[in-house]
Structure 1
């Protein structure tokens, strides 16, 4: 209940419910650190860092102890929703209360590497760990290698992979997934498959993420036959595909018929589309100017229990606006604001400009006739004044002074 209220931005109601959960008299308190963590995460989701930090410091109020685990929960929530810079600042400012350790650094490192995807900042945190004597572990390597694999830096991925083995750190599944992903993106498919076999020989069982690391780059490179072969192998291993697996295929399909057929296949396999699926397809159909399919997807999203969120509204409104459907875009814009979703600045600016232009046009239409009448009256009055002036006798004399003519004052 608290999670639902906070997700709908009913924060005051959520806090009132939490206050009711406090122990009174003989009744024990039902408020736990996880309760406050829910509020922290929801504040981070709307980028309200100040209130997220305030929620963390409420542990004492509810008779709870805020230890290193709770602090790392706060850092993780901030990084998860792209508030990585704030999380880093908070970690260093509280280093006397919550000593710096590998896990705290890994949270920030993962934020820069896998949420924001900034290799330069990831490298900076990596060096900072070395300067402060904080050891790099397999999670540290996995985060940085994953970042390099996403930015097509195969050489850096392999360099780190060899270094960690030299230091006696055994690669885990995440490390292998990052290397496989980087190899496939660099079109070294055979090497990626061989590494997959090596991974199995060492007793590390590939998971769905491993196969997604193979399928997504293959689809992006339009090597569909190889991607389908990997997909079939995954099914043979009794691994259930995720929405991300299907999204890789949906992203490269070229007709609406193929897309809706694959969507049906997803449902038949017990893998319903997620928000990312619908947002991607709405954007695609808007680009293709197939607005009937856009509204069909919009209806299906609600029918499947995925009620439109802020990102869904922004993509739909922007697509309708660019297709010249201004009235429809404005209707969904007002609907989004009524649900207290914050509009995207550029879309908001475009719609506000259109609304202002429409109001000016409507005002001009209503006032056009009266303005014309007023203008005619003004012109007529000015003409009459000039005519009367010309008919009046001249009463002033012209005088000459120093070779020039002047009106007599």
Structure 2
């Protein structure tokens, strides 16, 4: 049955590329048929009702919610956690096999039928490291990733590990292919290729919860929480906090707060649970008003406010440029018995620098060091970013040099601050060269920033240069990359190029910006009318 299910998924994926096969049929008829067992999808709950697990276990774990925006993770975390390989020297066979697989994917020009046929003939020996590396390179193209995943799983002497299933589920979830992701989870429940005990664990379902939360499908996220017991997994306090964190992380903070309050008799109210909600309002939504409401709710209910709580409020007021409130919270905290940590100091330093009080920020750095807390890269970023934003370049460079003298390694955010202040292509490339020289690898955000700048300056040769460099460096264009490129081309009147990449984006299953999509569609229809009128005139 397991092999039959895999063959069915593979055949249907290939069938989707047939010239008589439309996308509507594909998504409404074919993919739902892959789900042969829907037991993993229980009825939808209402977030207004308490979740009462049958075997409630109370246990505590270390706090996972972070207090500042610096600590908040990128939307691709599921992939970073499961895809990034440990740094080590691979042998020549690995490099050769990787290059061959990469060439097959590129030469096939996203045609999954061709990819599958070429993979069958390539003679590559599949290894766990190879699968991880390939999936990391194609994680923004779910069809290519899924085609490779299915092929790799059928090779003799190889079986997908838990890590690889998580990779693929995360990729499918990001592209909203939830039915296909559940198919893999059902396969994992049967022990994968070799059978045996279930491979499904809490992290498996947490990936799905996060992906549903990302598309604001709160009911499905909670639905997945209910599914834990169907896989023999407990739903205790730790799992409940994971659910709240996932909802808040993707701006479903009101729903998370309602869920917390409706389940207070079951899971209780604690500093950690309130901190998750507080972090959501303060750092995800960025609402000082709502943050303050939760702050006083904690006080009224007698919930202890810890260093995380204070850090959330300081971060929130800092973002909204309310430096007086930052100092007020900071002074209040100093009167308590809570030990100030480096995150608190960094938040206050950033708030002071943003409001123009750079010297006061420097004084606070000295005070921090006197108390035995030494600045880190984020401390210096807290100074460099506001200085670059206010175009105080010489001062920013001075702080940067001091950072290097202390032996601290600049982060991507350090260089992004300087990129943001660059005024021409030469300056931007100079910063990029320095970034590469210092071993700080450019990220998607780096290239997106450069694409936006070059588009604004009308430097399209440089746009294509950084776009191609991004791909060469193993960063497959994600949704944000395409949106930046399409928007930049569209706003500069390069409509044909914009439409080309708009279509490429949709083929990969990435959602375009609705406004730009509507405008490009109107342009396409207008061009069709012009072509039709020309054809009519020539015939007459």
TM-score by length of 2: 0.65
Cα offset, 1:26, TM superposition: 9.7
2:183 matched to which residue of 1?
A: 16
| Aligned counterpart in structure 2 of residue 7 of structure 1, from 151, 171, 176 | 171
| Aligned counterpart in structure 2 of residue 328 of structure 1, from 497, 507, 512 | 497
State yes or no: 1:145 paired with 2:334: no
* Distance in 1 (alpha carbons) for counterparts of 2:471 and 2:200: 33
1:234-268 CA distances to partner (integer Å, 9 max, x unpaired)?
Answer: 22222211111100001111110121121121112
* Distance in 2 (alpha carbons) for counterparts of 1:285 and 1:71: 45
Q: Secondary structure at the match of 1:167?
A: coil
Q: Secondary structure at the match of 2:199?
A: coil
1:252 matched to which residue of 2?
A: 421
* Higher relative contact order, structure no. (Cα contacts within 8 Å, ≥ 6 residues apart): 2
Cα offset, 1:209, TM superposition: 1.3
Cα offset, 1:365, TM superposition: 2.5
Q: Which runs of 5+ in 2 are unaligned?
A: 1-163
Q: Secondary structure at the match of 2:230?
A: coil
Shift of the 203–116 alpha-carbon distance from structure 1 to 2, 3 Å rule, reads same
State yes or no: 1:362 paired with 2:531: yes
| Aligned counterpart in structure 1 of residue 519 of structure 2, from 350, 355, 363 | 350
Q: Residue 7 of structure 1 contacts residue 42 of structure 1 at CA under 8 Å; is this kept in 2?
A: no
Q: Residue 250 of structure 1 contacts residue 262 of structure 1 at CA under 8 Å; is this kept in 2?
A: yes
State yes or no: 1:299 paired with 2:465: no
Q: Secondary structure at the match of 2:227?
A: coil
Q: Residue 39 of structure 1 contacts residue 55 of structure 1 at CA under 8 Å; is this kept in 2?
A: yes
Cα offset, 1:61, TM superposition: 0.7
Query: How does 1:171-190 map onto structure 2 within 5 Å?
Result: 171-190=340-359
Cα offset, 1:354, TM superposition: 1.1
Shift of the 93–352 alpha-carbon distance from structure 1 to 2, 3 Å rule, reads farther
* Distance in 1 (alpha carbons) for counterparts of 2:263 and 2:515: 37
Query: How does 1:162-173 map onto structure 2 within 5 Å?
Result: 162-173=331-342
Cα offset, 1:343, TM superposition: 1.4
* Distance in 2 (alpha carbons) for counterparts of 1:305 and 1:97: 46
1:81-115 CA distances to partner (integer Å, 9 max, x unpaired)?
Answer: 22223322322232232222111111111122112
Shift of the 362–96 alpha-carbon distance from structure 1 to 2, 3 Å rule, reads farther
Deviates further, 113-122 or 62-71: 113-122
Corresponding residue pairs, total:
371
Shift of the 137–355 alpha-carbon distance from structure 1 to 2, 3 Å rule, reads same
TM-score by length of 1: 0.86
1:77 matched to which residue of 2?
A: 246
Query: How does 1:10-409 map onto structure 2 within 5 Å?
Result: 10-22=177-189, 27-368=196-537
